[in-house]
Amino acid sequence: MSAFSERVYACVRRIPKGRIINYGSVAALAGRPRAARGVGYALSHLPPGTDVPWWRVVNRRGAISTSRASGLAQQQRALLEREGIVFDELGEASWERFGWDPYG
């Protein structure tokens, strides 16, 4: 694992339960403000049973951007709803209500 991926995992672990954050913000916290795609790549290689709450990371619209090929998107939505996240009819969650601001 690269140092970047480790920083990404560390940042994602800091996300409080019931909150969400977008890929770009995680990238910024990891020290690479424009590495949103790199964040997605790192999370896609996460082993099952990891302690990293990868499901709290969504795209900038508050919608699930996870690959639909493996049914992970459906699982992610279920996990988020279990934590209290609510998605509207467009499949988007409110940043005002659930967004996490790492700086307060």
Partner DNA sequence: AAACTGACTAATA
Partner DNA sequence: CTATTAGCCAGTT
Positions touching DNA (CB under 7 A) are: 1-2, 4-5, 22-24, 32, 34-46, 54-55, 57, 59-61, 65-67, 69, 72, 76, 90
Q: How far is the CB of 104 from DNA (least distance, A)?
A: 21
User: What φ, ψ does residue 48 adopt, rounded to 5°?
Assistant: -65, 145
Beta carbon of residue 81, minimum distance to DNA (angstroms, whole number)? 16
Q: Judged by CB, which is closer to DNA: 45, or 104?
A: 45
Interaxial angle between packed helices 36-44 and 3-13, expressed in degrees from 0 to 180 and rounded to the nearest 10: 80
Provide the b/e sequence for 47-72 (b: ≥16 CB within 10 Å). eeeeebbbbbbbeeebbbbbeeeeee
**Cα separation, 73 vs 62, whole angstroms:** 13
| Closer residue to DNA (CB): 18 or 24 | 24
The answer to whether residues 36 and 63 touch, using CB atoms and an 8 Å cutoff, is no
Taking the least distance from each CB to DNA, the nearer of 67 and 84 is 67
Task: Give the nearer residue to DNA in terms of CB position, either 84 or 91.
Answer: 91
